[in-house]
Amino acid sequence: MRIGSVALVGAGPGDPDLLTVKAARRLAEAEVVVFDRLVSDEILALVPAGTTRIYAGKAMAHHTLVQDEINDLLVSLARAGRRVVRLKGGDPFVFGRGSEEAEHLARHGIPFEVVPGISSASGCATYSGIPLTHRGLAHSVRLLAGHCRAGQPLDYDWPRLADPDTTLVIYMGLTTLPTFAAELTAAGLPADTPAAAVENGTTPRQRRVVGTLASLPERVAAAQLKAPTLIIIGKVVGLAGALDWFVRDGAQAGTAQAQA
């Protein structure tokens, strides 16, 4: 029996038009698609009829499959000779645990490849009119996880993060946004630093809330944003509004806006 293979494919942040050509080709060729919670319905609609779909979604404190089970599932499907696409939101190697899955496949001798995807940081910021870097405003970007393993407290070097010339992008940071705001302010980042939250970025359901480091937690709570929401902190957020381009149904994309 032939050994199958696994393609770890980045689905991008949600807009199906942001899939790479290679990602679309792998989906068309797949016999089994194992997909995450953050893969949009519009992208799943591109999976050919008759292709086996397996949901492996994970949310805070609720996992359909734990990571070890997903790892073993990919190995067993490949050993059964199947062409498998492991479809992950954003990019597989940016907070997607794709590298852990790749390590597991490599240890078990399973052929695999990685198809990069447009990251949520890049896609959601761009669709919100926020450049991650901009001359005179930000010369670097830091991508941060908004939560730690097993509910452990955030353990960042806050003074190093509190750089006014760096853009901070926080994944999975809805619940810890007040902590980030408090810690960064205490570390010296000005409270009036522009900040934004983007829910369901790049999709027709996109909502954007804009404020400052001090005001954003309250404004996000008032707007009742839900996951997936990306947090962006930095002077570049001040360009939101001026650089808006993403329009749906004739209206500006950021319907849930609040300016500082």
CB 144 within 8 Å of CB 232: no
| CA neighbor of 19 nearest in space, from 116, 144, 112, 96 | 116
CA distance 206 to 68: 32
Q: Which residue has the tokens 């645990």?
A: 97
CA distance 83 to 30: 5
Q: Is the dihedral angle over the CA atoms 98, 102, 103, 105 positive or is it negative?
A: positive
Beta bridge partners of 195: 211, 233
Count of other CB atoms within 10 angstroms of residue 137: 17
DSSP code at position 87: E
Please compute Rg for the chain using Cα positions.
Answer: 19
Phi, psi of 78 (to 5 degrees): -65, -40
* Pair type for strands 251-252 and 140-145: unpaired
The length of the chain in residues reads: 260
User: Which residues are annotated as catalytic?
Assistant: 36, 58
